Amino acid sequence: MSRLDPQRLTDLENGLASFSDEILSLPGIDDPNNLNSLACQFIDSIHRVEYVRTIASRSVSPLRADPNSNLFDPFKAAIYYRNQGNLEEACWLVFLATHFGKHGRSGWKLLRNIYGALGDAIWTWEDVSPSPEALGDWISANYLELIEPGVKASFGNHRKYESIKPGSSASTGAVIASYATWVNSHGGHLALFQRALDESSGDPRLAFRYLYNGMSGVKRFGRTGKFDFLTMIAKLGLANLEADSAYLSDNATGPLRGSKLLFGGAISSNLSAETLEGHLKRLADHLNVGMQEMEDALCNWQKSPSKFKRFSG
């Protein structure tokens, strides 16, 4: 890591150390190995955000939006549709990508199979929004084919408890229907995001919180799902949003453990999520990093505090 970005590593290590010495003690980085590992995790998180913003500034092949192509990538497809002026489809793809996730072995195959209707059609937002139950009905009707050997694919790590099984409490059909109902209740994605900004006096952080809270009716989308969806919408330039918090109080696990380790010296620290949120905001301002990078870095750091290991979702 240090060979790749030595100046940024030095700046982050110095920033963390000065914060601990001058503003608020960070016992979790008293060990120099912990300090280096955390700084490296910050760099990795910053790089991930920068990568998405970089590809979002480029032109994209239409094959990236074709679920029947091996080149399909839902985030690049979202950029393609954004560039074509179809922001509704772009946002829909971000939601689907967040819901299904990218599996370590099968990649985006599950999303491709369903979004592309097993090669028969494409379940566009224009098709789904007028009839939120329709895609779920299609999944139920084609369930046996979707789980056949050679066709079956899996959800990504962040979504590993989801299911396409009809009648399941984690049913994808019910999740999609609840999402479409939420968006439709505001007149579409663009109207929804504009409403969030209007209600927040144009403040992208308050707009993020408005949407985060508004997603409470979307089934199976807890803290991680909502956070991942909204931060990706922001990174792809689909709405003027910025994460205002790590939402540690909302059943957080990894980021909360990382915050307790950093500020309390142990993941078993009794520091409250509310207290830690305040500390994180002060640290983010001091380091000049976003709350998304803060949340991601701490989540990954607590898995291996003394030795940097690159993690992906």
Residue with tokens 């989540």: 299
Over residues 148-204, the pLDDT tens digits come to 999 999 999 889 999 999 999 899 999 999 999 999 999 999 999 999 999 999 999
Over residues 231-259, the pLDDT tens digits come to 999 999 999 999 999 999 999 999 999 99
* Structure tokens given for 185: 């209740």
Using the predicted structure, report yes or no on whether residue 208 has a pLDDT greater than 60: yes
286 contact partners, CB below 8 Å, separation of at least 6: 15, 18, 19, 23
Percentage of the chain lying above the pLDDT 90 cut: 95
Q: Which amino acid is at 57?
A: S
Domain locations in the chain as residue ranges: 6-54+245-301, 57-235
| Cα 163 from Cα 156, distance rounded (Å) | 11
Average pLDDT over residues 64-72: 97
Among left, alpha and beta (phi > 0; psi -120 to 50; other), residue 229 is alpha
Look at the chain and count its residues. 313
22 contact partners, CB below 8 Å, separation of at least 6: none
Q: Which amino acid is at 209?
A: R
Give the pLDDT score at 158.
Answer: 86
Average pLDDT, the chain: 96
End-to-end, the C-alpha distance of the chain in Å comes to: 19
Over residues 108-143, the pLDDT tens digits come to 999 999 999 999 999 999 999 999 999 999 999 999
Average pLDDT over residues 259-267: 98
Using the predicted structure, report yes or no on whether residue 2 has a pLDDT greater than 50: no
Average pLDDT over residues 293-302: 97
Give the pLDDT score at 5.
Answer: 84
| Cα 152 from Cα 58, distance rounded (Å) | 33
| Cα 91 from Cα 204, distance rounded (Å) | 17
